């Protein structure tokens, strides 16, 4: 049974007048959270609701006091203590955090930053350094390019939840319908560019294939071994935008959730659409292929 | 390898889900390889309604065998304008955290029901909660190096010892 362990407001650093930021008139929005797979830590990225373009990354660690635990009778109500490990600002609003064993990858809207767990910058990559789309861009897509989502690429399959592997590549989607693959060791330029038609919303990878969920409700499958830059197959999963995807730990089952986008008059091709806020969940299973169970 | 077939749809009551996660879900009795026949599915809506369902690992059909079969958890939202903006589940399946648009962080922990060799039951007092799935012991945060000195001394400084 799940029960609430703690609930707190993100502890932001003091501002110049000595008052904590969360006690002032504006608050912060949590943009991304991620549990570390290598250390018992929780990573949190936030942005100010006052409209600032800067973000902040805060990490919390867990202390397990064995001597105190031995004296506790009611173990169900004994939890490790959390403490703030690091907190540093970023020049971009971070929308996804990917810790990778002592290196933190922060994917922002306009840049990707690699930093140590303490916050020292190691490398960064702006979206302007990535090759722009060469094909004709739809008229609706005239907004500024930005990164949308990302995921690590592992060499072995069935390693989504394992802490034994360290990712060596990262795939990042952009709003102009491209997915860039970067080598984390040589973080200079994309080593491969996948041409997905629509802007990716979420990306999931299991080592053998990469699933890219788009704003058009389609899930596109890419080759995780970088043998082809084309879309291998496509599933029309939802009529509206895909909101989230999740892959089972063995990499065979994929669950998507998205919105419904139905025409008001189904017999009229030019009918306006009604986007429903009620979302649906669908699951897919891949055909058997060699994987570690 | 690239063929995908759609499985039976899952009916989840409540408002629409904006986030979905699989949970590592180990039953009370079965351990080892057979324990992976079960899994958990977490769906979370922006309104703060979190559904946790126990599913069959292969067919993803719902399993109704006890109190862990289905649970609803509510996010700590304080106003109607506040929404769940992000959610994360630890690889061990014992921790879950969510963040809201107003900066609130709620953390949940799964108590009981875990007798995997990597996760002795917390009720037995042999071990506490863990974030990572493969670590037999909690891995504390890496050591933080002290900051570099603001002022450096030259080699011929009198402060340094002469040898």
In a mutational test of the A interface, the residue from B105, B126, B135 whose CB has the highest number of chain A CBs within 10 Å is B105
Task: Name the closest residue on chain B to residue A71, using Cα atoms.
Answer: B125
Contacting residues of B for A234, CB less than 8 Å apart? none
Domain assignment of residue B107, yes or no = yes
**Is B34 near chain A, with CB under 8 Å?**
no
Does B14 score more than 80 pLDDT?
no
Assembly ipTM: 0.81
pLDDT band at A115; cut points 50, 70, 90: very high
Percent of chain B with pLDDT over 70: 54
Average pLDDT over residues A116-124: 90
**Looking at CA atoms only, how far is residue B31 from chain A in angstroms?**
15
Residue reference for tokens 């902040």: A56
Does A95 score more than 80 pLDDT?
yes
The interface residues of chain B toward chain A in range 120-149, judged by CB-CB distance below 8 A, are 122-125, 128-135, 138-142, 144-145
Task: Name the closest residue on chain A to residue B91, using Cα atoms.
Answer: A161
Domain assignment of residue B44, yes or no = yes
What pLDDT sits at residue A150?
93
Q: Which of A129, A132, A128, A101 is nearest to A114 (CA)?
A: A101
Q: How far apart are CA B109 and CA A59, in angstroms?
A: 18
Tokens of A143: 């907004």
Q: How far apart are CA B96 and CA B89, in angstroms?
A: 4
Does A20 score more than 60 pLDDT?
no
What pLDDT sits at residue B145?
67
What pLDDT sits at residue A206?
79
Count of structural domains within chain B: 1
Task: Name the closest residue on chain A to residue B128, using Cα atoms.
Answer: A79
Does A143 score more than 80 pLDDT?
no
Residue reference for tokens 């952009």: A174
Contacting residues of B for A2, CB less than 8 Å apart? 52, 71, 73, 96, 108-111
**Is B101 near chain A, with CB under 8 Å?**
yes
Percent of chain B with pLDDT over 90: 9
Contact call for A63 and B101, based on CB within 8 A: no
A–B interface: beta-carbon pairs under 8 A: 249
**pLDDT digits over B113-153, tens only?**
544 444 444 444 444 567 877 666 677 788 776 666 666 66
Average pLDDT over residues A6-14: 71
Domains in chain A: ranges and CATH = 147-286 (2.130.10.10)
CB A37 within 8 A of CB A163: yes
**pLDDT digits over A214-254, tens only?**
998 899 989 888 888 888 888 888 888 888 988 887 777 88
**Looking at CA atoms only, how far is residue A266 from chain B in angstroms?**
23
B154 or B126: which leads in pLDDT: B154
Residue reference for tokens 């003091």: A14
**pLDDT digits over B26-82, tens only?**
544 445 555 556 778 888 988 888 988 887 766 677 777 666 678 888 998 888 889
Instruction: Point out the residue among B87, B104, B123 whose CB comes nearest to the CB of A9.
Output: B104
What pLDDT sits at residue A181?
93
- Which residue spans within chain A are E strands per DSSP? 2-9, 28-35, 41-48, 55-63, 81-90, 94-99, 103-108, 111-116, 121-126, 147-153, 169-174, 178-183, 192-195, 200-205, 209-214, 218-223, 233-236, 242-247, 253-263, 273-286
Q: Which of A111, A17, A24, A11 is nearest to A56 (CA)?
A: A11
- Mean pLDDT is lowest, of A49-63, A78-92, A262-276, B16-30, for B16-30
Which domain, by its residues, includes B68? Answer: 19-124
**Looking at CA atoms only, how far is residue A152 from chain B in angstroms?**
15
Domain assignment of residue B7, yes or no = no
């Amino acid at each position: 049974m799940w029960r609430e362990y703690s609930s707190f407001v993100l502890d932001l650093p003091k501002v110049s007048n000595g008052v904590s930021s969360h006690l002032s008139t504006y608050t912060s929005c949590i943009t991304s959270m991620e549990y570390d797979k290598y250390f018992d830590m929780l990573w949190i990225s936030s942005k100010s609701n006052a409209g600032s373009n800067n973000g902040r990354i805060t990490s919390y660690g867990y202390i397990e006091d064995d001597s105190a635990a031995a004296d506790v009778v009611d173990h169900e109500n004994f939890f490790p203590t959390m403490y703030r490990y690091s907190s540093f600002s970023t020049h971009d609003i971070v929308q996804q955090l990917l810790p990778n064993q002592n290196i933190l990858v922060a994917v922002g809207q306009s840049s990707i930053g690699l930093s140590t767990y303490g916050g020292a910058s190691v490398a960064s990559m702006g979206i302007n350094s990535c090759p722009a789309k060469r094909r004709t861009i739809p008229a609706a897509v005239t907004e500024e390019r930005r990164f949308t989502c990302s995921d690590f690429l592992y060499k072995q399959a069935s390693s989504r939840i394992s802490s034994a592997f360290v990712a060596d590549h990262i795939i990042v989607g952009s709003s102009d319908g491209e997915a860039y693959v970067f080598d984390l060791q040589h973080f200079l330029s994309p080593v491969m560019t996948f041409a997905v038609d629509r802007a990716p919303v979420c990306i999931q990878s299991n080592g053998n294939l990469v699933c890219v969920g788009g704003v058009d409700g389609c899930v596109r499958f890419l080759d995780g071994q970088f043998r082809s830059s084309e879309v291998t197959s496509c599933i029309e999963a939802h009529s509206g935008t895909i909101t989230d995807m999740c892959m089972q730990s063995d990499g065979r089952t994929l669950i998507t959730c998205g919105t419904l986008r139905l025409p008001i008059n189904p017999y009229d091709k030019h009918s306006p659409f009604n986007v429903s806020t009620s979302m649906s969940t669908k699951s897919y299973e891949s055909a058997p292929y060699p994987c570690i169970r | 390898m690239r063929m995908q077939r759609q499985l039976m749809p899952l009916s989840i009551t409540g408002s629409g889900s904006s986030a979905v996660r699989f949970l590592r879900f180990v039953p009370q009795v079965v351990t080892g390889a057979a324990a992976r026949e079960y899994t958990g599915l977490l769906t979370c809506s922006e309104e703060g309604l979190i559904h946790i369902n126990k599913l069959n690992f292969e067919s993803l059909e719902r399993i109704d065998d006890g109190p862990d079969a289905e649970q609803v958890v509510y996010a700590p939202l304080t106003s109607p304008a506040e929404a769940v903006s992000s959610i994360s589940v630890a690889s061990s399946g014992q921790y879950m955290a969510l963040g809201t648009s107003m900066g609130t962080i709620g953390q949940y922990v799964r108590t009981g029901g875990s007798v995997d060799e990597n996760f002795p039951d917390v009720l037995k007092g042999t071990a506490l909660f863990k974030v990572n799935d493969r670590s037999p012991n909690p891995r504390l945060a890496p050591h933080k190096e002290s900051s570099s000195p603001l002022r450096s001394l030259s080699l011929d400084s009198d402060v340094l010892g002469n040898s």
